[in-house]
Chains A and B, each alone.
Chain A
Amino acid sequence: KAGVTQTPRYLIKTRGQQVTLSCSPISGHRSVSWYQQTPGQGLQFLFEYFSETQRNKGNFPGRFSGRQFSNSRSEMNVSTLELGDSALYLCASSPGTANNEQFFGPGTRLTVL
């Protein structure tokens, strides 16, 4: 069974631009979560989607948004990029029943110049 895939793997943008990251979960998984990893703040939860509905949301500004499609694939969007948005963005999927382990993708490394 294929693992979680994320595209692109690396991205360089400039301040003020917007970016869209994509995540394809493990086949059959209905829940997708996104996390931001930075050296200063560690791993922080962005949001969680289940069956196309946002089930949970972290403490990030409205510039960060996401969605999930009917095939469970998910995208996250960051508008008006700031230097502090430079991070590794990790996507994770799980079957969707609560308190399950999550399976992580390799991440998208975003650099904002």
Chain B
Amino acid sequence: GNSVTQMEGPVTLSEEAFLTINCTYTATGYPSLFWYVQYPGEGLQLLLKATKADDKGSNKGFEATYRKETTSFHLEKGSVQVSDSAVYFCALTGSYNTDKLIFGTGTRLQVFP
């Protein structure tokens, strides 16, 4: 079945450091891929998405490219801020006629000044 694998956290960085959070997936067909972010005490917010191979999703300085050949959707940001500290979830929808999301385990990011 469909699944998402994320790198284990926590990821600890200093402010202005470069961020990469790895995400790979297994899916039949052509899934849509998403990154969601969860700040403490809140629900999930969509960070970015990509719906087909080679698409690049971007938002708030974050980017991720849909790589079908490596089945990956790694999240990157060139310069992180303390306010980026949160849990990041990679997810996919892969089935026809559903919005059901399959999530990775989440990666906690901690950014220190």
**B48, closest chain A residue (CB):** A101
Given known contacts A45-B100, A48-B98, A48-B100, A104 and B45 CB-to-CB distance under 8 angstroms: yes
Q: A45: shortest Cβ distance to chain B, in Å?
A: 5
A104 / chain B contacts, CB cutoff of 8 Å:
36, 43-45
With known contacts A106-B43, A107-B43, A99–B105 Cβ distance under 8 A: no
**Cβ contact within 8 Å between B89 and A55:** no
Please tell me if B17 contacts chain A, counting CB pairs below 8 Å.
Answer: no
For window 29-63 of chain A, which residues contact chain B by CB distance below 8 Å? 31, 33, 35, 42-43, 45, 48, 55-56
Given A42-B105, A42-B106, A99-B93, A31-B43 contact (CB < 8 Å):
no
Neighbouring A residues of B96 by C-beta, 8 Å: 98
Number of interface residues of A (CB under 8 A): 24
In the complex, chain B residues whose CB is within 8 Å of the CB of A55: 97-98
In the complex, the answer to whether A48 meets B43 with C-beta atoms within 8 Å is no
Inside 8 A of B36's CB, which chain A residues have their CB?
Answer: 104
Q: How many A-B residue pairs have CB under 8 A?
A: 60
Is A42 in contact with B51, judged by CB distance below 8 angstroms? no
CB distance from B16 to the nearest CB of A (A): 29
Question: In the complex, which residue of chain B has the Cβ closest to the Cβ of A41?
Answer: B105
Q: Decide if A105 is an interface residue (CB 8 Å cutoff).
A: yes
B103 near A: Cβ within 8 Å?
A: yes
| A42-B105, A98-B93 given; A105·B43 CB < 8 A | yes
Interface string of B51-79 (1 = CB under 8 A from A): 10000000000000000000000000000
Name B1-58 residues within 8 Å CB distance of A. Answer: 31-32, 34, 36, 42-46, 49, 51
Given contacts A99-B93, A102-B46, A107-B43, 11 further A-B contacts (CB under 8 A): A33-B101, A42-B105, A43-B89, A56-B95, A56-B100, A90-B43, A90-B44, A99-B99, A100-B99, A101-B49, A106-B43
A sample of 16 cross-chain residue pairs with beta-carbon separation below 8 angstroms, ordered by A number, consists of: A4-B43, A31-B99, A42-B106, A43-B103, A55-B98, A92-B99, A96-B99, A98-B98, A99-B31, A99-B93, A101-B46, A102-B46, A102-B101, A105-B43, A107-B42, A107-B43
